[in-house]
A = this chain, B = another copy of it.
Amino acid sequence: MTLDDLTRMKEMRRRDRAELDRLLDEELAVTLATVTDDGRPWAVPMLHARVGDRVLLHGSTGAGALRRVADGAEAVLAVHAIDALVLATSLFEHSANYRSAVVRGPLVRLTGDDAVAALDALSDVLVPGRRGELRGHLPKELAATVALALDITDDNWLLKVSDGDVDEELDVVPDDVWTGILPIHRSYGEPVRSPWLPADLPAPPSVDALRAAGPQRRGGRRGQRRGTNR
């Protein structure tokens, strides 16, 4: 069940930028990995948004962890989705259908109007329409926030996708061992409103739209094939 086994037939490196974009768009968070001053690995999850050829991140100016990458240290953004479990006739051939990508840094720290635009874009991707329901940024809020960007170029990313059926090299396929795929779905649950709200205040359009679209934002999800009656 390894995710790092490039020898499998059905698991392939892809150079499909649209597929990279879809993965980045569907996942809410990436793992930001870098190397500390004393040469040690370091990793932290962060919410993100892809806008065109950029991945946008933000954090607190007080977060020391971000300072190093904001100052240009090389970084890797890793993102993955586990789409299904794959059950085969042997443990060895069990695996997961997944999509995995890394985009390599360095990150750029955005300032001034660029930073504001990035924060707005992050919001517009994460909760479309929400920004129009709220007041604008306050200066002290902007001062407390770091906005970072990592540009996606032609050659700074790697995408791996495993989305096949059960695929075993068998001389005789046993017909008494169930094999198949167990898809994994995500969905939003019922919104939980703050207790101080008036009872007749409805959920806003942004929340309704987000629930209708689901956590797999923009473009649906791979590998969600029709189920059978088993």
Residues on A lying within 8 angstroms of B by beta carbon are 1-7, 28-29, 31, 33-35, 39-47, 58-60, 62-63, 65-66, 74-76, 78, 80, 82, 84-85, 87, 89-92, 94, 96, 98, 100, 102, 119-120, 122-123, 126-127, 130-131, 133-135, 137-138, 141, 144-145, 165-166, 173, 175-198, 201-204, 206-207, 210-211, 215, 224-228, 230
Copies of this chain in its oligomeric complex: 2
A172 CB to closest chain B CB, in angstroms? 11
Closest 5 pairs between A and B when the two form their complex, measured CB to CB: A190-B227, A183-B189, A45-B80, A43-B78, A5-B60
A166 CB to closest chain B CB, in angstroms? 5
Residues of B within 8 A of A133 (CB): 177-178
Residues of B within 8 A of A43 (CB): 31, 33, 43, 76, 78, 102
Task: Check B44 against A3 for contact (C-beta < 8 Å).
Answer: yes
CA distance A181 to B26 in the complex (A): 19
Task: Check B184 against A185 for contact (C-beta < 8 Å).
Answer: no
Residues of B within 8 A of A80 (CB): 29, 31, 45
CA distance A195 to B179 in the complex (A): 9
Task: Check B5 against A59 for contact (C-beta < 8 Å).
Answer: yes
Task: Check B201 against A178 for contact (C-beta < 8 Å).
Answer: yes
In chain B, what residue has the closest Cβ to A190?
A: B227
A94 CB to closest chain B CB, in angstroms? 7
Task: Check A74 against B41 for contact (C-beta < 8 Å).
Answer: yes
Task: Check A33 against B41 for contact (C-beta < 8 Å).
Answer: yes
| A33 CB contact (under 8 Å) in B3, B33, B201 | B33
Task: Check A203 against B190 for contact (C-beta < 8 Å).
Answer: no
A202 CB to closest chain B CB, in angstroms? 7
CB<8 Å pairs between A and B, sample of 19: A4-B65, A6-B63, A35-B39, A45-B78, A90-B134, A91-B119, A91-B130, A91-B134, A94-B123, A94-B127, A133-B177, A165-B195, A178-B202, A180-B193, A181-B191, A182-B189, A182-B207, A183-B189, A203-B230
